[in-house]
A and B are shown apart, each in its own frame.
Chain A
């Protein structure tokens, strides 16, 4: 009995820390969604490692944390988080709140780029059409948490036949001691349109728990390239849930690069709802110390003639742990599906570990589905070759790790962004390679 009480109070204590700054629902629909999520939040329990979906990730660290909601700004310099040499539509969020003065949105014509809090008022019809339609806020407790307590986020709505040249760069900055945020994003790419979105998570000082939920809708023939750059402080945690809904002939690309953070869990669910869809997922993480990075992907082939491709790589040092759980589902109707999954890992120490679970669930026969998973270490012979040509131990290791990471990075078509990521990785190597 006592144990149950403890459990309840622990959950309540955790949840109570979010009350206060959330957006109040403006209309009946939003009120209804919030009500559903609140109900789910009351009835659902936080997952433990006994849940298959959370088998390898313990979230105790997150649940035991004490958080505060501080809209303290006082940030004037975001220069170092920008991407040098890349013109973008910039949105800056500090401690989960939109900063008008630090943001620059130049594109206005064929696209709406706004903080969600504002869009909920100005574009209530679109919000009502799409918001919370693609999430599992009834079943997933972290999505429910976000649905009830989100403070802001980004709203992107591109019209039909619009190629938006300038990428959208959303910078989420932590500048507080143990803060908790629930960013909520909604990206809608109209028919025949093309949009590029970069989301980066950075820390100036302190630590944070970010529970982000993003809904992405790609209409017919739409193209979206998304770059997720997770570089928070090493005692910050993040649960990042992305739900993607793709219509016929659409094309979705995502790169998830995790260079820092204590516990990072990415849930990426993609629903292929039309024919001739292409979807490419890739990820790279470099971890050390007691870091834990978990990439969960679910690609649901619901219609024929689609193609999906996954490539996730991990480099693990120290006592860090990595998880890859990719699932490809091919529904009975989805003939001519072409799906590929690949997970490759390098362990640099005996204390590091990786848990890989690439799954295929196939109900159609005329398909080509395969997956591969490898775990190993740097090739000693290759290293010797480089050493014999005068490279130091460290440079040889770096060079080989670079070669390993390149396969993921080469997919990043925005060169200035790629350079920035390479720089982050370089900094990371210094930590990783150094004894």
Chain B
């Protein structure tokens, strides 16, 4: 007799006698849910990458001379760099960087004051994603800086934020309106020569978000951006810069979904966070880009450089990420703990299925005294996927009384996937304490038995255990996001989560 369960607004049918294998089977054969493409006319630069394309992007953006120079310098350096193929635990075909569109923007360039003026197609896209701007505005209290492809289309709550002196706008706008601030901080956390993908991004980035929280201001709402890769074969090169001035606080959300595509799409974003004295930045990400089909065809290549610096004393940067999408994930949100007593945190859930590959983790660089860092990483692998944690904890010589705790747990669902842990621990200070532990296991049969014994069916039990496994990290997400993240995990493990 089939039983029907309603989960997260969806209805799943289960047969009565489900074995673990069947459940895993179902998990592994799930299709990408957010797979569609919306019809928005877009304007593209010619394919390929050369100086002219960079000049074109810069010109389209109406950028000042110094920005163009930064881009060109980065490009010239990039030409001499090699792709990091060797050390990540990833394998993917050669990327032809000349076979990519580096610029695409929705054609309508007008700025809107009200929602009515926004292209209904775009609004419909958001509707499907479950983020209706108008509802958000009224209900959730979230200011959404929606980015479709590369140009900011709509920014809400700007006025509310402006009253507090908070600047939250698209990156191109910031270059026009706050050049002094962009000039001061751009490239200070992730230098334009940092790594292959960050350098590429520095040369060709099209847009992104800029955020500045003035001294002593506590941002009253969660700031958020929704990225979508929309135009086929459009590499997305986002650039985000968040600056929290002395004593301020901001929580920043970033969520991603992308339409289903057969060709592989390249994404190389750079995020820079700067926390001055006593400031705190909380940066949360839910990433659910197209992971490719169940045979490993297509999917997004996600090469992201995210780094924050605790520049002032007593500052804090916290990264929380839920990574369920992308064919390839190469991402290490890091903290440079420069100020004394500064704190860095990294909470991560990475779920890979089918042929997905993730090589993700963090770097905690302790420079200041009494600096503290916490790393909690949960990896879940299913199907034929490979999921690696790679992290660096470095305690510099002068970082007296520093403290680090790292925990990296991996859960394997099925015997064709892989879970790997590559921690690098470098300690050069005698008064510091560094602890690292990692475990790898499958779902305990005794745990399932315990649940069964109490009348919880196997499929529900697996869901319960996976939820519990990731709970430590999910709890760190802001309320608005937690629901979506839980939904994502549920969808990603559909059939086993009840």
Query: Which residues of A come within 8 Å of B, CB atoms?
Result: 52, 332, 335, 345, 347-377
Can you list 27 A-B pairs, Cβ within 8 angstroms, ordered by A?
A: A52-B87, A332-B415, A349-B430, A350-B428, A350-B431, A351-B397, A352-B428, A354-B426, A356-B423, A356-B436, A357-B425, A359-B423, A360-B419, A360-B440, A362-B419, A362-B420, A363-B417, A365-B415, A365-B417, A367-B440, A368-B440, A372-B435, A373-B425, A373-B435, A374-B436, A377-B430, A377-B431
Per-position binary interface string of chain B over residues 426-439, scored 1 when its CB falls under 8 Å from any chain A CB and 0 otherwise: 11111111111111
Whether A369 pairs with B440 at a CB distance below 8 angstroms is yes
Bound Cα distance A349, B429 (Å): 7
Of B414, B430, B438, chain A has the most CB atoms within 10 Å of the CB of B430
Chain A, interface SS category: strand
**Closest chain B residue to A342, Cβ basis:** B437
Instruction: For B418, give its contact among A348, A362, A374, A377 (CB under 8 Å).
Output: A362
Distance in angstroms from A373 CB to nearest chain B CB is 4
- Main secondary structure, interface of B, reads strand
Q: Mark B379-418, 1 if CB is under 8 A from A, else 0.
A: 0000000000000000001000000000000101111111
How far is the CB of B439 from the nearest CB of chain A, in Å? 4
Contacts of A362 in B (CB 8 A): 410, 412, 418-420, 440
In the complex, chain A residues whose CB is within 8 Å of the CB of B450: none
The 5 A-B residue pairs with the shortest CB-CB distance, nearest first, are A365-B412, A353-B428, A356-B425, A347-B430, A370-B439
- A371 and B421 form a contact (CB under 8 A): yes
The smallest beta-carbon distance between A432 and chain B, in angstroms, is: 13
Within the complex, what minimum Cβ distance (angstroms) separates B196 from chain A? 16
B424 at the interface (CB under 8 A from A): yes
Residue contact B426 to A355, C-beta cutoff 8 Å: yes
**Inside 8 A of A359's CB, which chain B residues have their CB?**
420-423
Q: Are B415 and A360 in contact (CB under 8 A)?
A: no
Instruction: Say whether A370 contacts B437, CB under 8 Å.
Output: yes
B13 contacts A by Cβ under 8 Å: no
Closest to B427 in A: A375
Residue of B nearest to A340 (CB): B439
Complex: how many Å from CA A355 to CA B420?
Answer: 19
Closest residue of chain B to A346, judged by CB?
Answer: B430
Chain A CB within 8 A of B441 CB: yes
Contact B415 A374 (CB under 8 A): no
Query: CB distance A352 to B430 under 8 Å?
Result: yes
CA distance A417 to B412 in the complex (A): 43
| Interface assignment of B178: CB less than 8 Å from any CB of chain A | no
List A contacts of B413 (CB < 8 A). 365
Q: Tell whether, in the assembled complex, residue A365 and residue B414 are in contact, meaning their CB atoms are under 8 Å apart.
A: yes
Instruction: Note all chain A residues with C-beta closer than 8 A to B426.
Output: 353-356
- Give CA–CA (A52, B428) in the complex, Å: 20
Q: How far is the CA of A183 from the CA of B177 in the complex (A)?
A: 71
Query: How far apart sit A364 and B417, CA to CA, in the bound complex (Å)?
Result: 7
Extra A-B contacts (10), CB below 8 Å, given A350-B429, A356-B423, A370-B437: A52-B87, A350-B430, A357-B423, A360-B421, A361-B420, A362-B419, A365-B412, A374-B433, A374-B435, A377-B431
Q: Are A360 and B438 within 8 A (Cβ)?
A: yes
**B442: interface (CB < 8 Å):** yes
> B415 and A366: CB pair below 8 A?
yes
Across the interface, do A357 and B422 meet the contact criterion of CB distance under 8 Å? yes
Nearest chain B residue, comparing its CB with the CB of A56: B426
Set of chain A residues within 8 Å of B430, measured between Cβ atoms: 347-350, 352, 377
- Bound together, the chains give a CA A345 to CA B428 distance in angstroms of 11
Residues of B within 8 A of A365 (CB): 412-415, 417, 442
